[in-house]
Amino acid sequence: MAKLIVFNQVSMDGYFTDAHNDMSWAHKSDPEWDAFTAENAKGGGVLLFGRVTYEMMLSFWPTPTARQLAPVVADAMNKLPKIVFSRSLKEATWSNTTLVKEDPVDAVRAMKKRSERNLVLMGSGSIVSQLARADLIDEYEIVVNPVILGSGRTMFEGVDRRMPLKLTGIRRFTNGNVVLWYVRE
């Protein structure tokens, strides 16, 4: 059975996007961070997105700029199988992308049972919240960025109970980012 892994960046005050849905604060390139993201991209799996994150990723990763700035990551992002959850999209135009209009909780529950590859959910706060409430997330890979936003959106809006996690790893980067790995307790 596949694991569902959430990979998200958050500010010091716990927001994954600011009050205006901007995430530009999360993009701090340096050689060490770039090597980490390239290695992460080689890990494979099936990428999962909500519509907003999908559209943001689609606007960058298939472009020549992405291939120039981060060729390994761009290659992986374009080749890996992708799922976008959306009731409003008419079609998914990015290579290797499947549009799923059904409930994400039911869809992910079925995917975890039948997939041989891990599922990696990126961004997509409302989807993270739904899947967390349903106890479907196996691992969290959270990048804490050295910035305080003051307001924004948490990826756990709507979670109404305590969910204990166990820390399994920590990695510091010279750009100030810290990656924390957690599993459900």
Domain boundaries, the chain: 4-184
Residue 125 has pLDDT above 90, yes or no: no
Helix (H, G, I), strand (E, B) or coil at 62: coil
CATH architecture of 4-184: 3-Layer(aba) Sandwich (3.40)
Residue 34 has pLDDT above 80, yes or no: yes
- Residues contacting residue 177 through CB under 8 Å, at least 6 positions apart: 9, 28, 33, 143, 144, 145, 146
Is the distance from CB of 174 to CB of 30 less than 8 angstroms? yes
Global pTM value: 0.93
pLDDT in tens, 86-105: 999 999 999 999 999 999 99
End-to-end CA distance of the chain: 19
